[in-house]
Amino acid sequence: TTTITPLIAGNWKMNGVRASLDELTALAGILTTGDAPRAIVVVCPPATILAAVARQGATSGILAGGQDCHPAAHGAYTGDIAAGMLADAGAQYVIVGHSERRAAHGETDDLVRSKAEAAIGAGLKPIICVGETEAERDSGRAESVVAAQLAGSIPDAAGQHDVIIAYEPVWAIGTGRTPSNDDIAQMHNSIRRQLVDRFGDKGQGIHILYGGSLKPQNAREILALDNVNGGLVGGASLLAKDFATIISAV
């Protein structure tokens, strides 16, 4: 089996101003004092401070990512940000298809796939998010819903370029609730099978992150599960101490 270096990404969502760079300084301080982190560490701040995060992170091995991008390279799209602009600001990653955007902005699998393609075209690694709602899980459809999202959201280019998958059950995001370890492992195994079916050996090496109420208290057991290659962390990524604890749980 392929060894995958775990990846922990923090999604700051719409939180963070220039003063929040102090939290990044604190994180860098913690990460550089202990043993070297066993994970690739990514912080995805609001776009207004992305360049500053990338610049500051460069000195401490913390990588920067965007939270969304537009599928087009440029043009008359007021308020949107192109993948190439994120790359220009120093990003190496970009989250696409987060459930908050799928829900609040009506993003479809087709749109998410074009965003992922744009990201790859700009030299970024897209973090493609999928996950079922509570009703979908309760009715036994979690795996089929996620399978359909993966089929529709991952571009064919993932056969030649790096993409990252984040499994984030919608009902676990920001709620303090998580699926059982068995349910997480079962879903990640099912995602792995689908990636290998579609991309062969390349599919063995694709990161599958878990996201949804990942905290210092549950990180160790969740991150140790089969085919969990790291995490996407919302709330707990805002405090350097909590985020560092999750990183060191890898």
Under 8 Å between Cβ of 146 and 130: yes
List the one residue out of 50, 90, 93, 27 whose CA is nearest residue 236: 27
List the one residue out of 110, 18, 36, 21 whose CA is nearest residue 71: 110
Of 98, 161, 188, 207, which residue is the catalytic one? 98
- Part in contact with ligand PEP (CB under 6 A); list of ranges 76-84, 119-127, 153-161, 205-213: 205-213
Q: Shortest approach of ligand PEP to residue 38 CB, angstroms?
A: 20
Q: Which residue in 93, 168, 223, 243 binds ligand PEP (CB under 6 A)? A: 168
Joined together, the tokens standing for residue 223 give 């991150």
To the query of whether residue 221 is one of the catalytic residues in this protein, the response is: no
Query: Is 214 one of the binding residues for ligand PEP (CB under 6 A)?
Result: yes
Place of tokens 């912080």: 43
Cα–Cα dist 45/51, whole Å: 10
Q: Shortest approach of ligand PEP to residue 9 CB, angstroms?
A: 8
- Part in contact with ligand PEP (CB under 6 A); list of ranges 48-56, 116-124, 189-197, 207-215: 207-215
Query: Is 211 one of the binding residues for ligand PEP (CB under 6 A)?
Result: yes
Under 8 Å between Cβ of 233 and 65: no
List the one residue out of 233, 227, 85, 71 whose CA is nearest residue 155: 71
Query: Is 16 one of the binding residues for ligand PEP (CB under 6 A)?
Result: no
Query: Strand ranges (DSSP E) for 77-235?
Result: 93-96, 125-130, 164-167, 207-211, 230-233
Q: Shortest approach of ligand PEP to residue 210 CB, angstroms?
A: 9
Query: Is 169 one of the binding residues for ligand PEP (CB under 6 A)?
Result: no
To the query of whether residue 98 is one of the catalytic residues in this protein, the response is: yes
Q: Shortest approach of ligand PEP to residue 23 CB, angstroms?
A: 16
For 84-123, give one letter per residue: b (16+ CB within 10 A) or e. Answer: bbbbebbbbbbbbbbbbbbeeeebebebbbbbbbbbbbbe
**Could you tell me how many residues of this chain bind ligand PEP (CB under 6 A)?**
13
- Part in contact with ligand PEP (CB under 6 A); list of ranges 81-89, 150-158, 201-209, 226-234: 226-234
Residues that bind ligand PEP (CB under 6 A): 11, 168, 173-174, 211-214, 232-236
Residues with a catalytic annotation lie at 98, 168
Which amino acids are annotated as binding site for substrate, given as ranges?
A: 11-13, 174, 213, 234-235
